[in-house]
Amino acid sequence: MTEIPLSVLFLALLVLIVLSGFFSGSETGLMTLNRYRLSRLARDRKRGAAQAQRLLAMPEKLIGLILLGNNFVNVLAALVAGEIGRQLGGNAAVAIAGGLLTLVLLIFAEVTPKTLAALHPERLAFPAAIVLLPLLRVLWPVVWLVNLITRGLFRLMGVSPEQQTDHSLSREELRIVVNEAGAMIPRRHQKMLLSILDLERATVEDIMVPRNEIAAIDLEDDWAQIREQITTSTHTRLLVYEGDIDHVLGFIHLRNTVKLFQREEADREALRAIVREAYFIPEGTPLTTALLNFQRERRRIGLVVDEYGDIQGLVTLEDILEEIVGEFTTDPAATIRDIHRQDDGSYLVDGSITIRELNRALGWQLATEGPRTLNGRILEYLEDIPDPGTSLMLEDHPIEIVHTTKNAVKTVRIEADKDREGGAA
């Protein structure tokens, strides 16, 4: 019997090693592809992306094909290596050839291609997909038989092959993706995306103007006082009530009142005629829901009410948007209403400021559960109304009480953190 020339055997072995590396690298490259990026590339008609997406849609068949091809070429390579060893050194060299082949396959057909595929999955997976997809059609009967046997083994183990892994991202996983985006997403845009993800955690109580701070007109007041409120107001809309703030009539837009004063028709009945019905928001409503409701109802302002219908506070569309994009008001007084920077670097802070606003302004990480205002947090901590001059540590932040009333902390002094990035507006 004529022996196969060594040159042919070495060439065949080289081809088989390359094929083994191809199957190994293809498996790693395809399995490590970013599914979301793959979808975009497939829509953009990137060569090989659509084929890769189709293959990943049937993982059982894909793995069966790759393992079938990989094992076939590895077995064939072992036979060829054994024949080379026999021709070069007799039967004793067959074992040596097998050991050398194992080392060569490990380095050149496993570790190297899989590492390259893990580092550059698209570079290897897309060309491989172009080859594997038609190969799957050719070897379909064999792959089908292998998968049939595999499914039988799965059933014996109580595993359902139809169960698919959920590749959707949770909110926390999406936060990690945004944080690790690096230079691909500008830092300001990252903050906006993270703020959107956090929007559902916050409710309208977290950002509302408290009931006692709502700028409103009582129609039972003297007309001179009402006129003064309208002409000096810094707001574009004012709440109107009668006698008690829980007896709300609605809102007036100051633009409409200007016309009344110009025509000298302004009086209580004229104001009542231009009042627009108020929009109410139940307490506990997430900011995402409130934002969508504002859009659906075509509203820009709403009153937060408790389960008994009593007014708790006021929320505007701008308040919600500022939770996403940060402060964008053009009124300088609005940004320093609650926080005042002192010459020595400390801050005088109004006790009614919300914990969320304080965190954002000073870069703190105070827990947002529990009391929603600084006054509430201090009273919860001390369990008493403190005297001016009292100092305390609020979650490692030194705070000094400056001014109190009989029932609340009005003003506190906060020392600036030296290592804090950013600062109060």
- For residues 38 and 44, the answer to whether their CB atoms sit within 8 Å is no
The predicted pLDDT at position 166 comes to: 54
Strands (E), 277-338: 280-282, 301-305, 311-316
Contact of 311 with 303, CB cutoff 8 Å: yes
Question: Which residue from 327, 334, 328 is spatially nearest to 234, judged by alpha carbons?
Answer: 334
Phi-psi region of 348 (alpha: psi -120 to 50; beta: other; left: phi over 0): beta
Task: Give residue 395's pLDDT.
Answer: 82
How far is Cα 391 from Cα 397, in angstroms, rounded to an integer? Answer: 10
The CATH 3.10.580.10 portion of the chain extends over: 204-325
Residue at 71: amino acid letter:
N
Per-residue model confidence (pLDDT) at position 153: 79
Judge contact between 302 and 315, C-beta under 8 A: yes
Measured CA to CA, the distance from residue 351 to residue 412 in angstroms comes to 7
What is the structure's pLDDT at 18? 92
Q: Are 46 and 123 in contact (CB under 8 A)?
A: no
pLDDT at site 250: 93
Q: How far is CA 258 from CA 223, 263, 325, in A?
A: 16, 9, 32
Phi-psi group of 153: left, alpha or beta (phi > 0 → left; psi -120 to 50 → alpha; rest → beta): alpha
pLDDT by residue for the chain (425 residues), tens digit each?
A: 467 888 888 899 999 999 999 999 998 988 888 787 888 888 888 888 888 888 888 888 888 889 888 999 999 999 998 888 888 877 778 888 888 888 989 998 889 999 999 999 888 889 999 999 899 888 888 888 888 887 787 778 776 655 555 556 677 777 777 777 766 677 777 778 877 887 878 889 888 888 888 989 999 888 888 888 888 888 889 999 998 898 999 999 888 888 787 777 778 888 888 899 999 999 989 999 999 999 999 999 999 999 888 999 999 998 898 888 876 554 433 444 678 888 888 889 988 888 888 887 787 888 777 788 888 889 888 888 888 989 888 888 889 999 998 888 889 998 866 544 444 43
Which of these, 382, 375, 373, 374, lies nearest to 408 by C-alpha position? Answer: 375
Residues forming a β-bridge with 276: 251
Judge: domain 204-325, CATH 3.10.580.10.
yes
Pick the CATH number of 332-414 from 3.30.1490.100, 3.40.50.300, 3.30.465.10, 3.40.50.720: 3.30.465.10
Contact 283, 312 (CB under 8 A): yes
Interval 57-93: pLDDT, tens: 888 888 888 988 899 999 999 999 888 888 887 777 8
Q: Output the pLDDT for position 336.
A: 45
Grouping H, G, I as helix, E, B as strand and the rest as coil, residue 268 is helix
Strands 237-242 and 216-218: parallel
Q: What is the pLDDT of residue 337?
A: 60
Question: Given the DSSP bridges, would you call strands 311-316 and 301-305 parallel, antiparallel or unpaired?
Answer: antiparallel
Location of each CATH 3.30.465.10 domain in the chain? 332-414
Helix, strand, coil in percent for the chain, rounding step 5 = 55, 15, 30
